[in-house]
Amino acid sequence: MIVFDKLKKIVKEKGAGFIVLIDPDRKNDKKLETLVENANCSGVDAILVGGSLMMDGRSHDRVARIKDIANIPVIFFPGGVGQINEYYDAMLFMSVISGRNPHYLIGEQVIAAPIVKDLGIEAIPTGYMLLDGGSATTVEFMSGSLPIPMDRPDIAIAHALAGQYLGMKLIYLEAGSGAKYPVPIETIEQIDRETNVSLVVGGGIRTPKEAAERVNAGASFIVIGTAIENSSEIMAEFAIAIHSKD
C-alpha cells in the first residue's frame, strides 16, 4: 500500500496530514491548474478528488489534468462507481457505515471492486461516517442515509469502533461539504480516546484555527475543500496550522 504508507509516514513525521479536496464538479475548470500548483508548493500532503454528483461529462479529463501537474498523491474520493478512472494513485475504498442504505454499504463496492482490481488502483479501506453539520448535505440526499446527530457522540463512537473491528484503515468523520458546523472537537476527542484507528475529519472547517483544534483533538488528517476554493493563499496557513500539533 504505497500511498497509505506515505500517509502514515506523514502523520508520524508531521503530527497530521493536510488533504485538499478538489470537487471536479465545482465549475473550477479555469483555476484547476492554479489550485494544484498551489497545493504542490503550500505544504499540502495529498489531493482528494471527488464529489457526490458529476454534472457534466468532463470529470475524467479534469482528473487527468490534476494528476499531470500534482507532485503529491492524488486520491479518489468516490461519489459513485462511474467516477473511477485510471489516473488516480489510490482511492478511499469507502462504505457509508453511518447509513443503512445497503447500496452504499456494499452495493457500489461490489460493482467497483473488479474495476479497481483491473485498473490496479490502491484501495484504502475507509469507514465513512456522516455527522449532522447543521444543514442538509448532498451526500445525505444522494446516499439516502441520515447523519448521526452531533449531540450523540456515543452513537458516533459505536460506529467508529464497528469500522475499526471491520478492518477499516481510516474512519472519515464527515460533516458535509460546506457544513454550517464542523465535527465538534469533543466528538473527535472521544472517538480518538475510544478507538484505535486513524481519523480523517472534514466538512465545514473554515479557518486554520479550527483545523488545528481538530488535529489536537486527535484527527490524523484534515480535509479542506470549500475554504481553499476561492483563496489559494490560505492553503499555506492551513498547512502550518495542521502541521503544528501541540
Nearer to ligand 1GP, 12 or 49 (CB): 49
Residue 169 C-alpha cell reads as 484503515
d(CA 119, CA 76): 13
Q: How far is the CB of 174 from ligand 1GP (least distance, A)?
A: 5
Q: How far is the CB of 200 from ligand 1GP (least distance, A)?
A: 8
Nearer to ligand 1GP, 3 or 92 (CB): 92
d(CA 51, CA 181): 19
d(CA 188, CA 219): 7
Cβ within 8 Å of residue 208, ≥6 positions away: 234, 237, 238, 240, 241, 242
Tell me the residue ranges of DSSP E strands in 9-156: 17-22, 46-49, 74-76, 90-96, 122-130
d(CA 58, CA 53): 12
Beta bridge partners of 93: 125
Q: How far is the CB of 222 from ligand 1GP (least distance, A)?
A: 9
Residue 221 C-alpha cell reads as 488528517
Nearer to ligand 1GP, 26 or 243 (CB): 26
Of all residues in the shown chain, the one whose CB is closest to ligand 1GP is 202
Nearer to ligand 1GP, 2 or 201 (CB): 201
Q: How far is the CB of 9 from ligand 1GP (least distance, A)?
A: 22
Binding footprint of ligand 1GP on the chain (CB under 6 A): 21, 174, 177-179, 202-205, 223-227
Backbone angles phi, psi at 185, to 5 degrees: -55, -45
Q: How far is the CB of 62 from ligand 1GP (least distance, A)?
A: 17
Nearer to ligand 1GP, 147 or 202 (CB): 202
